Structure 1
Amino acid sequence: MLLAGGAALGAAGTAGVVVAGDGGEAARTAAPAAGPQARQVLKSSAFRLQPLTGYGPPRAAPRKLKVRSEPILQISGRGRRMMLTYDDGPNPAYTPHILDTLAKYGVRAMFFVCGECVVDNKELLARMADEGHVVGNHTWTHPLLTSLARGEIRSEMERTSDVIEDAYGERPQWFRAPYGAWNRAAFQLGAEMGMEPMAWTVDTTDWETPGTGVIVDRVESGAAPGVVVLSHDAGGDRSQSVHAIREYLPYLLDSGYQLTVPPRRTT
């Protein structure tokens, strides 16, 4: 069942939807029955499609996608599905703690990373690949895209996709504009590079450091089927975000939500 897009802070318009699966399963797979998500240990070898180093077949060009005019704000699918997303990292001070909590509960999330942060923290993207998380493109330097020329936007996106592929093992299939500031060039270039535009439904506004309790309340009160939660693992002091996920994640699972990620496109 398709879920209608909701309003998102910083994202323009009403968005489309995307069928989210759990670690690359077929999009039409029936959803699990309501209840706490299983907290099993994830097998690391199942998620990296290519080795991080060594030799292999030539990399295929990304499949061009239909150009959207609005970003995706929600996920679709049966059951009580939600998605956690983190922007601006990776950061060695905060990202590992968030990954530890996700691993503790057997949950996968999306990380929209900045290329300049990946350069010195490639091992964190390798860990994300091992643990089944999805990595998206959040540009190289986190600029306001609406202030850049088309060639500058292309450079920001391409460089980031290149370093993600080197560190994660595959090129990203998702893109998020910094500040939620989209323009036609970003949609066109993203589609040309094989990336769908992903926004969010619930903004924790953790970047304002409002307090751990406020962040937890915004996630728990905003929880609903199809919701995409925006948080941050870099770009400032993210200790509140680290503490908050330790509180709201078990709450969401015990409330019957399945925390999921989009399926990997293979064609």
Structure 2
Amino acid sequence: MKNDQIPAERRILLRLGLALGAAAVVRMIVADPAGTPARPGGEPLGPAAGPPARAGTGPTAYRLRPMTGEAPPGFLPAPPRVRTRPIEEMPELGADAMVLSFDDGPDPRYTPDILATLRRYGVRAMFFVCGEMAVDNRDLLREMAGDGHVVGNHSWSHPLIPKLSRRRIRDELGSTSELIEKTLGTPPLWYRAPYGAWNRNSFEIGAAMGMEPLAWTVDTLDWTRPGADAIVGKVEQGAGPGVVVLSHDAGGNRSQSVAALRRYLPALIADGYRPTVPHRS
């Protein structure tokens, strides 16, 4: 029987049946999260195509999610909040706690002596490293991490951050975070702006990279080379619960900083202070 000979009522029923069948197929495809047709019992009819290959992401895109990788959304760590000023002290570490921090390294001339002194007294510290120094001294990064010290981000080339565009800030912080992660297996959780010069862009970009901004309470001014006595005096006069001490292990002749640490560290311990480091989960 030709199409035009089928009664109108039967044509309507046939069309309705075809429509219902198509809807059922659509429901089956949507119900299969892989989007792969399957035989009864769940066996795939063929290999799943999988998601399309992703285009290569540039370094900047990677750097903005150094702590996330490809983890499922439900398991991504929450980024720190965007601050309007850096953390300057850490009283939550305890009444006997202080934080010693060293900027600009690592430098093979001075950093090993600082690490040896910290190791001698069983003390952990924070090292805010510059990428241009760290790239040729990755063994010192590993030594820092191996001794339990915190390795933080101090930019790549130590620029004045407020004078940079957002893109340049991302490059300075991102390239250093990437180097630290490739060397130690985990990205840094802390960063410090060169010269202590922060701005809104740096707070936003640092937070997007999973880092908290840390400044200091006591500046030893060791970079001016005032003499070991003056450096020791600065630390001892500024000692207190949660105090963060700023020193340098690179960026110039740091022999005074090394000598001063050998004197003020045992003095702090004798006074009942416990130099330690913060932790972020």
Q: Give the TM interval when normalised to the shorter protein.
A: 0.7 to 0.9
Output one character per residue of 1:46-66: Cα deviation in whole Å (capped at 9) or x when no partner: xxxxxxxxxxxx675764221
**Relative to 1, partners in 2 of residues 1:183 and 1:101: Cα closer, same or farther, differing over 3 Å?**
same
Q: Is the 8 A contact 2:131 2:179 kept in 1?
A: yes
Q: Which residue of 1 aligns with 2:240?
A: 224
* 2:116 equivalent to 1:74: no
Output one character per residue of 1:190-212: Cα deviation in whole Å (capped at 9) or x when no partner: 11000000000000000000001
**SS at 1:200 equivalent:** coil
Separation of aligned partners in 2, 1:257 and 1:145: 34
Q: Which residue of 2 aligns with 1:214?
A: 230
Q: Is the 8 A contact 1:203 1:230 kept in 2?
A: yes
% of aligned pairs identical? 60
> Relative to total residues, which structure has the larger helix share, 1 or 2?
2
Separation of aligned partners in 2, 1:94 and 1:87: 12
**SS at 1:89 equivalent:** coil
Separation of aligned partners in 2, 1:178 and 1:149: 15
Q: Is the 8 A contact 1:175 1:198 kept in 2?
A: yes
Report which structure shows greater RCO (CA 8 Å, sep ≥6): 1
Question: How many matched pairs?
Answer: 209
Q: Which residue of 2 aligns with 1:38?
A: none
Output one character per residue of 1:223-248: Cα deviation in whole Å (capped at 9) or x when no partner: 01110000000000000000000000
Separation of aligned partners in 2, 1:128 and 1:168: 10
* 2:196 equivalent to 1:180: yes
Offset, 1:168: 2.3
Q: TM-score, normalised by structure 1?
A: 0.76
* 2:277 equivalent to 1:261: yes
Q: Which residue of 2 aligns with 1:194?
A: 210
**SS at 1:72 equivalent:** coil
Q: Which residue of 2 aligns with 1:233?
A: 249
Q: Which amino acid aligns with 2:261?
A: I
Output one character per residue of 1:137-166: Cα deviation in whole Å (capped at 9) or x when no partner: 000000000111110000000000000112
**SS at 2:247 equivalent:** strand
Q: Is the 8 A contact 1:114 1:160 kept in 2?
A: yes
Separation of aligned partners in 2, 1:63 and 1:221: 38
Matches for 1:106-185 after TM superposition, within 5 Å:
106-185=122-201
Gaps in structure 2 of 5+ consecutive residues: 1-68
Separation of aligned partners in 2, 1:215 and 1:260: 20
* 2:111 equivalent to 1:95: yes
Separation of aligned partners in 2, 1:139 and 1:108: 22
Q: Is the 8 A contact 1:63 1:193 kept in 2?
A: no
Q: Which residue of 2 aligns with 1:244?
A: 260
Q: Which amino acid aligns with 1:211?
A: G
TM superposition outliers: structure 1 runs of 4+ over 3 Å: 58-63
Gaps in structure 1 of 5+ consecutive residues: 1-57
Output one character per residue of 1:74-132: Cα deviation in whole Å (capped at 9) or x when no partner: 00223211000000000000000000000000000000000011110000010111100
Q: Which amino acid aligns with 1:195?
A: M
